[in-house]
Amino acid sequence: MATLDRNSPIPLYYQLYTILLGQIKSGEYKPGDMLPTEISIITEYNVSRATVRQAVLDLMRNGYVIREKSRGTFVKDYSNTVGYTGSAKYFSAYSSRGGQIPLNSVVLAKAVIDAPKAIQEILCLEPGEKVFYLKRLRYVNGEVNTFVEDWLPYKYCEGIEAFDFSNEASLYKILEETYHIVPNHTTRTFESSSATTNEEIQSLEIRKNNSLLRCEGYVSFGEDVPLEYYVALIKGKYTVRI
């Protein structure tokens, strides 16, 4: 039986997380199996309830288990879990089996508009400056996955509204090839969220209270010049057939 190293600088909850994850990935606990109860894990590993809860919470956040009220915590089928990889320039999806997954987009809106005050501050714009606004639905392997809104200072990309951003068209590829702008830094913040408008609910094909992952991003180029601000709502549950 795997044990915890109490002299290690690695937190106990993370050691416990890796043990439980190893048991799931090895098949000791299969999809649909219930994990041992908190009391069982506390007794077996001689840890606090808080340590157990943190370890299980991390398993939940990473999509390996699901907690059902009054029943227990069960192992999920994570074989088709989708992850993302990317840089400041490009963004792609892959499956847990290692295969690349097709991405495509449907444009919901695009326009050159006066920068809202909040966007002015984020992108360091002067009052009255324009931004290019782009709203899209992104699909992973043909299934709706992400509702995303982008704002870019129009002074860096005049005429960009003429491009077709549906299907495989890449915003960053257009910026690089047409405007010679190469993003070099991005900051992404992820947090749990939910849809706040009927458009988001209908577009993502979800219920009002479904959990979503919200990604807020800031992209810059050159000497840390603000280039893009975006907000993406990512569905928390979907199926990808590889």
Using a cut of 0.85, tell me whether the model's pTM lies above it.
no
User: Could you give the CA distance from residue 191 to residue 238 in angstroms, rounded to a whole number?
Assistant: 18
> Yes or no: is domain 12-75 CATH 3.40.190.10?
no
CB 75 within 8 A of CB 83: no
User: Could you give the CA distance from residue 232 to residue 218 in angstroms, rounded to a whole number?
Assistant: 12
Q: Could you tell me which CATH number the domain at 82-235 has?
A: 3.40.1410.10
Question: What is the average per-residue pLDDT within 68-90?
Answer: 65
- According to the model, what pLDDT value does residue 63 have? 74
CB 229 within 8 A of CB 123: yes
DSSP assignment letter at 163: S
Q: What is the pLDDT of residues 94-103, one digit of tens each?
A: 444 444 556 7
User: Where in the chain are the domains?
Assistant: 12-75, 82-235
- According to the model, what pLDDT value does residue 57 have? 87
